[in-house]
Amino acid sequence: MDDFLPKLLSFPQHPPPTTPLTDTQYDDCIRAQITAVKSIPDSKLLVHTSSGESVLDFINPAINTVPYTFTLLATITALQKGSKTVKGDNLWDNMTGFLATFDPRQIRYLGSELSTIIEAVVEFARQRGQSGAAVAPVSNALLRYDPTGGMLTSKHLVLVRLALSSRQLADAVPTLDKPILYFPTAQKPLKSKLLCNLSNSPNVYITSDGGFSRKLKSWEVLEYFLYRGMIYMGTRNWKKAHQSLEDAFTFPTKDGVVSKIQIDAYKKWVLVGLLLKGKLLGLPKVTGSGPAKSFHIIAKPYEAVAQIFESGTATRLKAEVDVGNVIWQNDCNMGLILHVLAAYQKNQIRNLASIYTKMSIQEVHTSTTSAETGARLPNVQATETLVRSMIADGSLPATLSASPNLVLSFSLVGQVLSEPQFQRELAASTTQIKALTDEIKHTDHMLTHEKDYIKWLQKQKNSGKNAADLGVGGMDMDWNGDDEDLMAGAY
């Protein structure tokens, strides 16, 4: 054991060299080390040191990620085979500790190994009937592996399924909050692009051949968006749910076909839109015309509910919902529908704010109706409780005066940002947009280096046409140009 320890710890150098390694040197060293560690048989890795410690006990996964990974893997395999000699007492702690601390640079070379460990964690938790416990470690590991979070991997799917089935929703949210931009492709990493270059975007080191994620199918991507939306619904984050569902049903389709997932997403989107904005929102412009038609036909009952919610009475809404009971149940949207019913009166009360400044609670009581019963609330006290709860959760900017004559005063100007607050928000937006510009450049670069595009370009050249005006004309940020000017005015 002790004899190959130096081999395990040969990289990275300790203490770190005064001049940091160049990317090329780093790449050479780590590849050499991986080969070296791989050559050590599992049995040897599992042998304890002379002082009786396991390798996992004294290697720090944050520094020596490579040997730790392989030792951990060896332990997992041994335990799966039912080996008696290996102690698995600390396995869970070891695995989760590893997932929380691994070195994000070294791990890029260990995609498939990381994948195995994540699966082991999920399996481990599942076997003990506590699958929810795996949500947080997996979510953290995904963010550690790809800090931008822009690449959708098959592990993301594992995460959302796990989170939904175990109802451990909040832990998954940090990963889900990252907008998806890329998908694993079969692209071979270019020689010039070293895995260890930290400025590389995730699609350099996460490819479908890398072992971490397989190539996704379109329905899996859709499923991710749908489930992500459902997780947000579970955490009552209607805005994010709305956006995620929108991502699902605006997903590009060919020949006007629609996936059932998209239709499901659309149905939920309509209902979530009611909870969020109180009305039926128009389809985003990017929705294809073919899918849009299917949505309107298939989700008709939902749109009907939305229209009544917007302009109809509580009684009608309740009647409509009762009629469609079977539909909601079959679509598993009963919970959302109940939310919509509950939201009706709240929405009415909020709308009062756009007409009145002050009114007695008695007037609120008489001018609103509950869609849950199709009638007014039983007494003024119930209305008062409702109004109080709305003020408390921040959904109604208003104040209620003290008893006995309760007067509800709506606040006229919603939330006002203070100057520094606004500056901060603006700065955040600016960095966001700047980061986006890089993403756009990057995507543009990838597109211009795409095999098909180059082939096409070559053909154009061969046929003697001027290809100059046909190519991708640089980055085009200007699809609705006025926005830029408005931004400039805000500074």
Partner 1 sequence: MTGTQNLPSSPTQSRSKKTLLVTDPPKFDLESYIQNYQGRTRFERLLQIGLCSTFLGVDALRLAVKEAKQGKDTKRYIQAQGHLQTIGPNEPESRRDQAWIEATDKKNQAETTRLQTELNGYKHNLIKESIRMGNEDLGKQYQAMGDLPKASEAFSRMRQDISISKHIVDVSRHLIEVATEQRNWMTVTSNVQKIRGILSSSDEDKSILPYLQAAEALACFENGDYRNAALVFLGTDTGLGSTAATIISPNDVAIYGGLCALASMDRNELQKKVLENSSFRTYLELEPQIRRAIAFFVNSRYTACLNVLETYRADYLLDIYLQKHFEELYHLIRSKSIVQYFIPFSCVTVDSLNQAFAPPGKTVDKELAMMIQNNELNARINTIERLLEAVPSNPRTELQRGALQITDDYAREARRRIMHMNVSMADLEVKGKRGTGHNNMGLSDDLFGEPVGRELRSRGAGSTMLS
Tell which positions 245-274 bind partner 1, by CB under 8 A: 247, 250-263
How far apart CA 127 and CA 88 sit, in angstroms, is: 14
Residue 402 contacts partner 1 per CB under 8 A: no
152-163 as b/e, with b when 16 or more CB fall inside 10 Å?
A: bbbbbbbbbebb
> Residues in contact with partner 1, total (CB under 8 A)?
76
Q: Which is nearer to partner 1, 28 or 484 (CB)?
A: 484
Residue 410 contacts partner 1 per CB under 8 A: yes
Give one DSSP letter per residue of 5-60, joined into a string.
Answer: HHHHT-SS-SSPPSSPPPHHHHHHHHHHHHHHHHHS-HHHHHSPPTTS--HHHHS-
CB of 428 to partner 1, least distance (A): 9
Judged by CB under 8 A, the chain residues 162 through 201 that form the site for partner 1 are 179-185
Binder to partner 1 among 198, 311, 422, 448 (CB under 8 A)? 422
Binder to partner 1 among 167, 300, 459, 465 (CB under 8 A)? 300
Tokens at residue 397, please?
A: 């900017």
Question: What CA–CA distances, in Å, run from 187 to 110, 204, 215, 343, 393?
Answer: 18, 8, 11, 48, 49
CB of 124 to partner 1, least distance (A): 28
Q: Which is nearer to partner 1, 6 or 420 (CB)?
A: 420
Q: Which is nearer to partner 1, 26 or 205 (CB)?
A: 205
CB of 22 to partner 1, least distance (A): 30
Of 38-46, 100-108, 166-174, 420-428: span binding partner 1 (CB under 8 A): 420-428
Of 5-13, 18-26, 159-167, 244-252: span binding partner 1 (CB under 8 A): 244-252
Judged by CB under 8 A, the chain residues 429 through 488 that form the site for partner 1 are 429-430, 432-433, 436, 439-440, 443, 446-447, 450, 477, 479-480, 483, 486-487
CB of 468 to partner 1, least distance (A): 22
CB of 352 to partner 1, least distance (A): 10
Residue 398, H or E segment: strand 398-400
CB of 353 to partner 1, least distance (A): 8
Contact 445, 475 (CB under 8 A): no
Question: What CA–CA distances, in Å, run from 62 to 198, 292, 348?
Answer: 17, 49, 55
Residue 223 contacts partner 1 per CB under 8 A: yes
Amino acid at 223: E
Binder to partner 1 among 113, 171, 331, 384 (CB under 8 A)? 331
Contact 318, 374 (CB under 8 A): yes
How far apart CA 240 and CA 228 sit, in angstroms, is: 9
Contact 118, 138 (CB under 8 A): yes
Contact 119, 127 (CB under 8 A): no
Binder to partner 1 among 120, 194, 216, 245 (CB under 8 A)? 216
Judged by CB under 8 A, the chain residues 346 through 375 that form the site for partner 1 are 354-360, 363
Q: Which is nearer to partner 1, 71 or 368 (CB)?
A: 368
Q: Which is nearer to partner 1, 143 or 342 (CB)?
A: 143
Of 22-30, 66-74, 378-386, 411-419: span binding partner 1 (CB under 8 A): 411-419
Residue 244, H or E segment: helix 238-249
Angle at 307 between CA 304 and CA 309, to 5 degrees: 110
Binder to partner 1 among 63, 281, 298, 400 (CB under 8 A)? 298
Candidates 132, 121, 116, 290; CA nearest to 212 is 116
Q: Which is nearer to partner 1, 43 or 448 (CB)?
A: 448
CB of 338 to partner 1, least distance (A): 20
How far apart CA 453 and CA 472 sit, in angstroms, is: 10
Contact 50, 1 (CB under 8 A): yes
CB of 475 to partner 1, least distance (A): 10
Residue 400 contacts partner 1 per CB under 8 A: no
